[in-house]
Amino acid sequence: MKTTKGLLFIYLLMSIIIIACTETEPPQFPKYNPINRYSYILLTDRNTPKALAGLSFINTITGLTYILDTATKRQDSVDIVYYYGKGNIATDSNSVASPAAAVFSNTITTENPWPELINWSTRNSTKFKNISDSVNHEIVDVAQNDSILQKYAVNLTDTKINKLKIGSIIAFETIKGKKGIFVVENIEGTNAISRVMTIAMIVQQ
């Protein structure tokens, strides 16, 4: 009996030692990536006076805006297009859209703010989502990595967002899979020659 108890004790002791020495998996933490931040992106309507006219095409990688002629030469770099609704789509007001959005395929010029895009051979498909009700701009302002993008730039299906106003917060994802968020910082002008919108943007590197 003593031998049996002794063996049992040794077995239990060895089990404890084995468990204690077993290498445990390290905790898994989310992997976050660096971001680019662009604090002042100026967007203008095509009818804005010539010095600023048509700075409506955004390259989200560089934060640069292009006029139509430059954008046409760099179609594969254009991810977002700004426009102000006119004619039958005047209710769109301040808007952004994917270059591939249906609004730019309409052959009725009164319903297409940039009919020139019909002839583009490359029209990148960018998806959007208005997250103004979920995020405040302070969170975007202090973001140090793409954690906020991984959380909120998901389930994006819209090809355009209209009726933008100061404080609007829009998530997007480019055709290259880069997630971003922009905040409308300011809107100026109330007529065809004075519309100017300023945004701040963060995007994955």
- Residue 38, burial from CB neighbour count under 10 angstroms (0-12, 13-18, 19+): middle
- What pLDDT shows up at residue 125? 98
What does the alpha-carbon distance between residue 103 and residue 127 come to, in Å, rounded to a whole number? 14
Q: How confident is the model at residue 18 (pLDDT cuts 50, 70, 90)?
A: very low
Percent of the chain with pLDDT over 90: 64
Residue found by looking up tokens 């355009």 in the block: 160
Across 148-176, average pLDDT: 96
Residue with the larger pLDDT of the pair 84 and 77: 77
- What pLDDT shows up at residue 76? 97
- Residue 41, burial from CB neighbour count under 10 angstroms (0-12, 13-18, 19+): buried
- What pLDDT shows up at residue 69? 94
Residue 92, pLDDT above cutoff 60: yes
CB-side neighbour CA atoms (13 Å) of 110: 2
In tens, the pLDDT along 125-137 reads 999 999 999 998 8
Across 52-66, average pLDDT: 92
Q: What is the mean pLDDT of the chain?
A: 86
Q: How confident is the model at residue 157 (pLDDT cuts 50, 70, 90)?
A: very high
- For the full predicted model, state whether its pTM sits above 0.85: no
CB-side neighbour CA atoms (13 Å) of 82: 30
